Amino acid sequence: MPAIHTLEPERRTLHGHFSRDLPPILTIDPGDTARYRTLDAGWGTQPFQGGNYAPRPRIFETDPKLDAGHALIGPIFVRGAKPGMTLAIRINDIRPGAWGWCLAGGWNGSFNPQLGIGEGTQGIVHAWTLDAETMTGRNHLGHTIKLRPFMGVMGLPPNETGVHSTSPPRFCGGNLDCKELVTGTTLYLPITVEGALFSVGDGHAVQGDGEISGTAIECPMDRVDLTFDLPDDFPVTTPTAKTAEGWLTMGFGEQLNDATVMAMEGMFGLMCRLLDISRLDAIALASLVVDLRITQIANGVLGVHAFLPHGAVH
């Protein structure tokens, strides 16, 4: 019978970088489920106060190099996972904690001169109270917003030596910041290392495409329920997801054109398999039924995802 494993945020389970040399905190079989509770991206255990930005203390001792990035739980070793295979992550449930925050300027390089947020800008924080029953959030200014929670970081380490930042998304996942990765979605990642070594963190209560200020509503998650599998005959070259509404493929690059090409190459390959058509046929049909969306502009490299609605072509 598939097992359910529970993981809590503690010093043993947390890390702030990707590395193929990180020892796994848990070994599971395909079909098993991991049930997490996570910190917010900034290793926070208490909410911000609304107003001007000021750093919060961390309750965990952190290494300035190894824990410089998002607070991630993992890695998990999946038995039978080998480089060249695909890891499927089914998102069963995501439940936000009671509070969250977003900001403009003043933290983690979230200055953007093009938006009038320069190095000298005083950062401002919106403090949010979150209700997981009604899936609504209310900030300290009285604004109310509908929540759509997802995890900003889900990924595997590159098959390269050294310590790798959690900030940029990669072909093997990471800081994807894609708002479509909600409950009910299955994410497919190319496996880079033996065991996959999957990590997750960076809870988002809600985010718009683009993540314009550099933050979503950043929040702890009371529950993140993920089931892992190793599907046969489903090769992917870039993060790919099946949502309730359709299929999407992701691309990343220094320029939006580069990210777009990566996303579309993934989509052409997907359409060839799903529809049993040639690449040229896929390109022709994609021009009619596939939408391109800006995933994020906040992570050093830019993100684009291509979206194919279910039933758009038979």
Give 231-259 pLDDT, tens digit per residue.
999 999 999 999 999 999 999 999 999 99
pLDDT value, residue 94:
98
CA atoms lying within 13 Å on the CB side of residue 1: 3
Mean pLDDT lowest among 117-121, 147-151, 213-217: 117-121
* Span 73-79, average pLDDT: 98
Please state, in angstroms and rounded to a whole number, the distance separating the CA atoms of residues 91 and 149: 11
* Span 131-137, average pLDDT: 98
Residue range 4-229, CATH number:
2.60.120.580
Q: 205 near 128, Cβ under 8 Å?
A: yes
Domain map (residue ranges) of the chain: 4-229, 245-309
* Span 59-68, average pLDDT: 88
Closest by CA position to 44, among listed 163, 148, 127: 127
Please state, in angstroms and rounded to a whole number, the distance separating the CA atoms of residues 15 and 10: 10
Q: 8 near 60, Cβ under 8 Å?
A: no
Residue 60 clears pLDDT 90, i.e. is over it: no
Residue 277 clears pLDDT 90, i.e. is over it: yes
Residue 118 clears pLDDT 90, i.e. is over it: no
pLDDT value, residue 52:
85
Residue range 245-309, CATH number:
3.10.28.20
Q: How confident is the model at residue 168 (pLDDT cuts 50, 70, 90)?
A: very high
Share of the chain above pLDDT 70, in %: 95
Q: How confident is the model at residue 109 (pLDDT cuts 50, 70, 90)?
A: very low
The encoded tokens of residue 55 equal: 């750093």
304 CA to centre of own chain: 13
